[in-house]
């Protein structure tokens, strides 16, 4: 195998992504994987031009992936060119207050998780515990009980024998069972296969600021079940999030203010990690650019190769639009909703490593300013690429009902999204998404069942060696603490450059999240 793949990436590729025969033996190399995916995705080119040279696009897509410049989401890497060609990572499924709806959604979820997708659900239409169901006129056990059933499904279904699926459970802030939902993760093992988020309205935040009471309302019969204090409820959310990591919050009015297809209806859910708000039955295909691959040496210093970045943004948008075309959809509803809006999500990984190689501390105005410039560039070039595709392939079917009509003929309702890149950043051997360094050395767990990955920051080791500071003692400290903050012998300039997440003040994390100021539909 090529040296471009690290020990961790090789292990992950072998155990999750490379094709296996019926005996479980790996039957392809990483290069063959990328060849398989490139061949499958480039085949879509014939749908619009029978005279096109497919080999040209196959070579471009293969080079992007094999050189780790761009990687699509995991289902595309796993399934493209295989019998089960379900390629989407992100889904939102509706669920209503009836046994039929719950059953149908359950069956859809089973197939999606088997093929590698993650699912977001808003359970707010389910009648509260010990109350009457809207469509059955009898008692149901409430939304949390339904969530537990879906959680058990995820335990039972292992994706291609390689990993469990991911879910997002959402409940509206005015649901009568919201207080139980806020605290559910305080119970050991509860909803272990779900991220939790609360759908929060502007009206609720106003009630918090004014210390008003807040009404919890039956979702179907619309009567007030009880009242509580809005600020007390908000503090409860904060306490549980601090204690367990859940729940998160979705500012749903903000999401719908930027909904590019608002005429089709309100969005009420996102994919499992929250980066892709979707309408019911929509799916989305994601991919990420490895920012480190866009550096070039100018004299003695690195700088961003903007020309190369622009070129690969164009290729990546085309790649993701092709994925929509060759995708095998698990139901007519998902196919119809996905093709109607053709949403894609192009993001980035390696941001923290890029800053290190540019010698820019993460917690600096210079870093945030570069983030603004970089993401504005990616958003603008992704939009330009989608507009160019529309000239040949046509606008997305719901275009006339979108914010782009009548002046901006465009192929994809959304183009960009910042995903966590948990697995593909390991393959690319870089830092995940736009996050700062987690630690200079650490164990990464739960990527492949009980397998742990040992991570050591190679750039930090090279910086030590360059400054004649590398020693067993320093490395022992790094392995034990994960940080250089307590090492007096390390110069402050190196410490500042290699600060880990816990050393960086919270406001800097937020500044990086807010850096892409130009909005691209729902994607920031």
Cα separations in angstroms, 293 against 175, 282, 374, 419, 497: 47, 32, 14, 18, 19
pLDDT of residue 515: 83
Q: Is the peptide bond before 247 cis (omega within 30 degrees of 0)?
A: yes
Burial class from Cβ neighbours inside 10 Å (0-12, 13-18, 19+) for residue 291 reads buried
Give the pLDDT confidence score for residue 524 in this predicted structure.
30
State both tokens at 150: 């879906």
454 vs 444: CA distance, rounded Å: 6
Q: Which residues in the chain show pLDDT less than 70?
A: 1-3, 132-140, 158-164, 444-452, 516-524
Task: Give yes or no for a contact between 85 and 43, defined as CB atoms under 8 angstroms apart.
Answer: no
Local structure of 25: helix, strand or coil: coil
Q: What is the pLDDT of residue 447?
A: 58
Beta strands in 5-156 (DSSP E): 70-72, 90-93, 118-122, 131-132, 139-140
Give the separation between CA 145 and CA 135, rounded to whole angstroms. 17
- Residue 312 burial class via C-beta count within 10 angstroms: exposed 0-12, middle 13-18, buried 19 and up: buried
Q: 38: Cβ–Cβ under 8 A, 6 or more apart, which residues?
A: 58, 59, 61, 62, 65
What does the pLDDT read at residue 2? Answer: 43
Q: What are the residue numbers of the active site? A: 271, 273, 275
């Amino acid at each position: 195998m090529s040296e471009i793949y690290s020990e961790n990436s090789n292990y992950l590729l072998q155990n999750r992504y490379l094709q296996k025969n019926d005996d479980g033996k790996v039957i392809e190399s990483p290069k063959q994987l990328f060849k398989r995916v490139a061949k499958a995705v480039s085949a879509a080119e014939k749908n619009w031009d029978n005279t096109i040279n497919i080999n040209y696009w196959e070579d471009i897509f293969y080079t992007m992936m094999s050189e780790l410049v761009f990687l699509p989401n995991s289902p595309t890497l796993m399934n493209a060119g295989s019998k089960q060609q379900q390629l989407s990572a992100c889904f939102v499924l509706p669920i209503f207050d009836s046994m039929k709806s719950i059953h149908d959604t359950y069956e859809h979820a089973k197939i999606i998780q088997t093929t590698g997708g993650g699912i977001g659900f808003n359970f707010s239409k389910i009648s509260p515990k010990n109350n009457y169901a809207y469509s059955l006129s009898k008692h149901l056990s409430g939304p949390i009980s339904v969530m537990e059933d879906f959680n058990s499904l995820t335990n039972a279904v292992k994706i291609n024998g390689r990993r469990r699926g991911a879910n997002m459970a959402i409940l509206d802030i005015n649901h009568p069972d919201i207080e139980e939902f806020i605290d559910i993760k305080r119970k050991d093992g509860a909803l272990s296969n779900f991220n939790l988020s609360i759908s929060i309205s502007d009206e609720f935040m106003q009630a918090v600021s004014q210390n008003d009471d807040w009404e919890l309302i039956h979702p179907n019969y619309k009567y007030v079940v009880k009242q509580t204090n809005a600020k007390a409820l908000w503090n409860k959310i904060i306490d549980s999030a601090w204690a367990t990591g859940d729940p998160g919050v979705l500012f749903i009015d903000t999401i719908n203010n930027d909904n590019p297809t608002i005429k089709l209806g309100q969005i009420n859910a996102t994919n499992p990690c929250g980066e892709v708000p979707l309408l019911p039955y929509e799916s989305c295909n994601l991919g990420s650019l490895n920012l480190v691959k866009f550096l070039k040496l100018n004299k003695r210093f690195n700088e961003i190769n903007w020309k190369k970045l622009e070129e690969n943004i164009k290729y990546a948008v085309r790649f993701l639009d092709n994925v929509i075309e060759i995708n095998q959809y698990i139901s007519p509803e998902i196919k119809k909703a996905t093709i109607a809006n053709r949403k894609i999500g192009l993001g980035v990984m390696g941001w923290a490593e890029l800053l290190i190689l540019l010698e820019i501390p993460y917690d600096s105005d210079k870093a945030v300013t570069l983030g603004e410039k970089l993401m504005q560039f990616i958003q603008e070039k992704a939009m330009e690429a989608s507009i160019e595709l529309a000239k040949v392939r046509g606008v997305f079917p719901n275009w006339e009902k979108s914010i782009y009509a009548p002046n901006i003929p465009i192929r994809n309702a959304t183009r960009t999204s910042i995903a966590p890149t948990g697995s593909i950043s390991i393959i690319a051997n870089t830092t995940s998404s736009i996050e700062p360094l987690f630690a200079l050395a650490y164990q990464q767990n739960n990527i492949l069942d009980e397998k742990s990955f040992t991570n050591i920051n190679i750039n930090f080791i090279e910086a030590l060696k360059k400054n004649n500071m590398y020693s067993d003692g320093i490395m022992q400290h790094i392995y034990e603490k994960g940080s250089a903050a307590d090492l007096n012998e390390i110069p402050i300039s190196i410490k500042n450059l290699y600060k880990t997440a816990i050393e960086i003040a919270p406001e800097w994390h937020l500044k990086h999240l807010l850096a892409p100021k130009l909005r691209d539909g729902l994607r920031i």
